[in-house]
Amino acid sequence: MIMNKFLFTIGLLLLLQSSIVYAKNKKEMESVLDRFLRYVVIDTKSDESSGVTPSTPGQRVLGEILVDELKAIGLSDAQIDSHGYVTATIPSTIDKDVPVVGFISHVDTSPDFSGKDVKPRVIKKYNGSDVVLNSLQDIVIKTNDFPEILKYQGQDLVVTDGSTLLGADDKAGVAEIMTAAAYLIKHPEIKHGKIRICFTPDEEIGEGADHFDVPSFGADFAYTMDGSEIGELEFENFNAAGATLTFHGRSVHPGYAKGKMINSMLVAHEFLNLLPEKETPAHTSGYQGFFHLLSFEGDVERTVLEFIIRDFDKQKFEERKKLIQDAVVQINAKYQPTTVKLDLEDQYSNMREKIEPVMHVVNIAKQAMEECGIKPIIKPIRGGTDGARLSYMGLPCPNIFAGGHNFHGRYEFVPVQSMEKAVEVIVKIAQINAANHD
Beta-bridge mates of residue 122: 158
Peptide bond into 111 cis (omega under 30): no
User: Could you say which of 69, 108, 176, 226 is catalytic?
Assistant: 108
- Characterise 251 by phi-psi region: left (phi > 0), alpha (psi -120 to 50), beta (else): beta
Which amino acid belongs to residue 363?
N
Q: Phi and psi at residue 142, in whole multiples of 5°?
A: -90, 135
HSE at residue 413, side-chain half, CA atoms within 13 A, is 30
Q: What are residue 121's DSSP bridge partners?
A: 159
Longest C-alpha distance within the chain, in Å?
102
Q: How far is CA 301 from CA 153, 154, 250, 271, 344, in A?
A: 55, 58, 5, 16, 22
Minimal CA–CA distance to 382: which of 283, 276, 305, 245? 283
**How many other C-beta atoms are found inside a 10 Å radius of the C-beta of residue 382?**
18
Nearest residue to 182 via CA among 95, 71, 92, 20: 71
Is residue 236 within 8 A of residue 351, CB to CB? The reply is: yes
Burial class (CB in 10 A: 0-12, 13-18, 19+), 20: exposed
Tell me which of 169, 203, 234, 412 is the catalytic residue.
Answer: 203
Instruction: Tell me the CA distances in angstroms from 273 to 34, 107, 265, 315, one per residue in order.
Output: 51, 40, 13, 23
Our answer to whether residue 279 is catalytic in this structure is no
How do beta strands 302-311 and 101-106 pair? unpaired
% helix, strand, coil for the chain, step of 5 = 40, 20, 40
> For helices 416-435 and 168-186, what crossing angle results, to 10°?
50
To the query of whether residue 424 is one of the catalytic residues in this protein, the response is no
* Catalytic machinery residues: 108, 203
